[in-house]
C-alpha cells in the first residue's frame, strides 16, 4: 500500500487531484459503483453493506490506533450510542420512549451528542497510555453495555428498540438493497477520504508525531492532550455515522449490538486489516463479514456440524496475525516487496 501513501509535493504540484488518484482506486471505485448491476440483494445488503458499516467503525479505531497510537475499545459503544439516540429522538416501535422528532433534528443531534461523549471518553482516556487506555475504554464499553441492559426508562433495557427506519428522503426507500448499498458506500468513501485527507493535514501529522514521540512534540510547542482528545472526537463522529447506518440496516438496536463481543470484534477487524493505512479497516471488515456469513456453510459442506463456526473464524484470524503482524496490509506489502526484488541478488529492482 506504499503507493497509496506516497505523497510527492514536487510531483503533485504539476497535477490536479484527479490525476493524483492511483489507478487501483479507479478500478476498485468503478467495480463498487457498478456492483448492483450483477450482484444479488444478499451480497449488496448483507455482505457489502455490512462491510462498509463495520469498516467505518473499524476505521474510527484505525484512526486512533494507527495515527494516534491509542487503542480504544469504546468505538462500538460510540456507534451504539448514536444508534440509540436516533431511536430515542426519532421513530421506533417503542412509542413510549421514542420522541418522533424529524430526521433533520434527530440525526445531527445524535451525532453531536455522540461526538460530545467521545470527547469526554477521550479526555479521560488520554491520561493513560498503552494497556491502560485499553482497560479504561473497555471499562467504559462494559459500563455502557450493562447500563443500556438495565435501564428501561431511556434505553428500553434488554429488548432495546426495533423498527428504526431511515427517512424516506427524495421518495427513496433507503432500506431497499440497492439504495442502502449506495448510501453505505457513500458514507464509507466519505469517511475514508476524510481520514486520508486529515492524515496529511497538520493535525494528522502532529497526531502521528504525538504517537511517535509525545515529549518532543510538547517541546516543539504542540498541545499533546488537545491533539489526542480531538482525535477521539473525530473518531467518534465516524463511529457515530457508522452506528446510525448499522441501526437502520438491521432496523433495531439493543444491548447485544454493543456488548463486549462486538467491541472486541472491531479491534479484530482493524488488526487483521492492518493499522497502517485506512483501507485496512475495510479489508478487515470484508474478511470478517465473509467469515461470519459463510463459516457455517463451509463447515457443513465439509460434513461437520455448523455449530463450530466460531472456531473456523478464530483459526483464520490466528493464521493472518501469525503470518503477518501488520495484518493483510503487511502481507500485501511483503509480497509486493518480494516481487520487486531481484531473485538472485535479493536487492531491490528499482533502486531509487
Partner 1 sequence: MTAETGLALELRGVSKRFGALAALSDIELRVRPGERRAVLGSNGAGKTTLFNCITGDFPPSSGAIRFFGEDVTSFPAQERIRRGLRRTYQISLLFTGLSVLDNVYLACRGVSRGRFSFRRPRASDALMQTAEELVTTVHLQEVRNTRVSDLSYGQQRQLEIAMALSGAPRFILFDEPAAGLSPTERRELIAILTGLPGHVGYIIIEHDMDVALRVSERVTMMHNGRIFKEGKPAEIEDDPEVQALYLGGAAHG
Alpha helices in 63-172 (DSSP H): 68, 75-89, 103-125, 131-150
Q: Pick the closer one to partner 1 by CB: 168 or 200.
A: 200
Based on the shown chain and the rule CB under 8 A, indicate whether residue 6 belongs to the binding site for partner 1: yes
Candidates 8, 19, 153, 351; binder of partner 1 (CB under 8 A) is 8
Q: Which stretch binds partner 1 (CB under 8 A): 29-37, 179-187, 194-202, 292-300?
A: 194-202
| CA–CA distance, 80 with 262 (Å, rounded to integer) | 10
Cell numbers describing residue 321: 496475525
The least distance separating partner 1 from the CB of residue 325, rounded to whole angstroms, comes to: 15
Based on the shown chain and the rule CB under 8 A, indicate whether residue 60 belongs to the binding site for partner 1: no
Q: Which stretch binds partner 1 (CB under 8 A): 55-63, 98-106, 198-206, 319-327?
A: 198-206
Contact 217, 209 (CB under 8 A): yes
Residue with cell 516543539: 220
The least distance separating partner 1 from the CB of residue 217, rounded to whole angstroms, comes to: 8
Q: Pick the closer one to partner 1 by CB: 2 or 28.
A: 2
The least distance separating partner 1 from the CB of residue 233, rounded to whole angstroms, comes to: 12
**DSSP codes joined into one string, 232-273:** HHHHHHHHHHHHHHHHHHHTEE-GGGGSHHHHHHHHHHHHHH
Which residue, among 44, 24, 47, 27, has the nearest Cα to 35 in the 3D structure?
A: 44
Residues 11-50 that bind partner 1 (CB under 8 A): 12-13
**Site mask for partner 1 (CB under 8 A), range 153-192, x = bound:** ----------------------------------------
Which residue, among 258, 259, 261, 260, has the nearest Cα to 242 in the 3D structure?
A: 258
* Sequence-distant (≥ 6) Cβ neighbours of residue 332 within 8 angstroms: 1
Based on the shown chain and the rule CB under 8 A, indicate whether residue 336 belongs to the binding site for partner 1: no
The least distance separating partner 1 from the CB of residue 344, rounded to whole angstroms, comes to: 23
* Sequence-distant (≥ 6) Cβ neighbours of residue 249 within 8 angstroms: 45, 49, 50, 53, 175, 180, 184
The least distance separating partner 1 from the CB of residue 228, rounded to whole angstroms, comes to: 12
Q: How far is CA 83 from the centre of its chain?
A: 15
Based on the shown chain and the rule CB under 8 A, indicate whether residue 340 belongs to the binding site for partner 1: no
Based on the shown chain and the rule CB under 8 A, indicate whether residue 9 belongs to the binding site for partner 1: yes
Based on the shown chain and the rule CB under 8 A, indicate whether residue 198 belongs to the binding site for partner 1: yes
| CA–CA distance, 89 with 85 (Å, rounded to integer) | 6
Cell numbers describing residue 216: 518532543
Question: Mutual orientation of helices 177-200 and 224-250 as an angle, nearest 10°?
Answer: 170
Q: Pick the closer one to partner 1 by CB: 196 or 264.
A: 196
| CA–CA distance, 262 with 254 (Å, rounded to integer) | 12
The least distance separating partner 1 from the CB of residue 79, rounded to whole angstroms, comes to: 23
The least distance separating partner 1 from the CB of residue 3, rounded to whole angstroms, comes to: 12
The least distance separating partner 1 from the CB of residue 256, rounded to whole angstroms, comes to: 36
| CA–CA distance, 264 with 171 (Å, rounded to integer) | 38
Residues 207-236 that bind partner 1 (CB under 8 A): 208-209, 211-213, 215-223, 226-227, 230
Cell numbers describing residue 185: 458506500
Q: How far is CA 342 from CA 56, 208, 334, 335, 337, in A?
A: 38, 33, 14, 13, 10
Based on the shown chain and the rule CB under 8 A, indicate whether residue 300 belongs to the binding site for partner 1: no
Based on the shown chain and the rule CB under 8 A, indicate whether residue 10 belongs to the binding site for partner 1: yes
Q: Which stretch binds partner 1 (CB under 8 A): 5-13, 43-51, 80-88, 288-296?
A: 5-13
Based on the shown chain and the rule CB under 8 A, indicate whether residue 277 belongs to the binding site for partner 1: no
Binding positions for partner 1, rule: CB under 8 A: 6-10, 12-13, 197-198, 200-203, 205-206, 208-209, 211-213, 215-223, 226-227, 230
Amino acid at each position: 500500500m506504499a503507493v497509496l501513501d506516497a505523497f510527492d509535493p514536487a510531483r503533485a504540484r504539476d497535477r490536479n487531484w484527479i490525476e493524483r488518484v492511483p489507478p487501483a482506486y479507479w478500478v476498485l471505485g468503478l467495480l463498487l459503483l457498478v456492483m448492483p448491476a450483477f450482484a444479488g440483494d444478499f451480497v449488496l445488503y448483507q455482505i457489502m453493506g455490512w462491510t462498509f458499516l463495520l469498516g467505518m467503525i473499524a476505521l474510527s479505531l484505525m484512526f486512533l490506533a494507527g495515527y494516534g497510537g491509542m487503542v480504544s475499545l469504546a468505538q462500538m459503544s460510540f456507534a451504539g450510542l448514536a444508534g440509540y439516540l436516533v431511536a430515542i429522538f426519532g421513530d421506533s416501535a417503542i412509542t413510549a420512549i421514542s420522541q418522533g422528532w424529524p430526521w433533520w433534528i434527530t440525526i445531527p443531534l445524535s451525532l453531536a451528542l455522540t461526538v460530545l461523549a467521545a470527547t469526554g471518553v477521550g479526555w479521560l482516556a488520554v491520561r493513560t497510555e498503552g494497556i491502560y487506555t485499553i482497560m479504561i475504554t473497555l471499562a467504559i464499553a462494559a459500563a455502557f453495555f450493562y447500563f443500556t441492559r438495565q435501564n428501561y426508562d431511556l434505553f428500553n433495557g434488554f429488548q432495546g428498540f426495533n423498527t428504526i427506519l431511515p427517512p424516506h428522503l427524495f421518495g427513496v426507500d433507503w432500506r431497499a438493497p440497492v439504495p442502502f448499498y449506495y448510501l453505505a458506500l457513500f458514507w464509507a468513501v466519505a469517511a475514508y477520504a476524510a481520514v486520508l485527507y486529515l492524515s496529511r493535514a497538520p493535525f494528522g501529522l502532529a497526531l502521528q508525531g504525538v504517537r511517535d514521540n509525545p515529549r518532543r512534540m510538547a517541546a516543539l510547542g504542540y498541545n499533546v492532550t488537545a491533539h489526542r482528545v480531538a482525535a477521539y472526537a473525530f473518531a467518534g463522529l465516524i463511529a457515530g455515522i457508522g452506528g446510525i447506518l448499522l441501526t437502520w440496516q438491521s432496523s433495531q438496536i439493543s444491548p447485544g449490538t454493543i456488548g463486549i463481543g462486538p467491541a472486541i470484534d472491531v479491534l479484530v477487524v482493524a488488526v487483521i486489516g492492518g493499522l497502517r493505512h485506512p483501507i485496512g479497516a475495510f479489508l478487515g471488515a470484508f474478511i470478517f463479514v465473509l467469515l461470519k456469513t459463510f463459516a457455517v456453510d463451509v463447515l457443513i459442506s465439509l460434513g461437520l456440524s455448523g455449530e463450530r463456526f466460531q472456531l473456523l473464524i478464530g483459526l483464520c484470524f490466528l493464521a493472518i496475525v501469525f503470518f503477518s503482524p501488520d495484518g493483510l496490509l503487511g502481507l500485501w506489502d511483503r509480497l509486493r516487496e518480494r516481487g520487486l526484488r531481484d531473485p538472485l541478488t535479493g536487492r531491490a529492482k528499482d533502486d531509487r
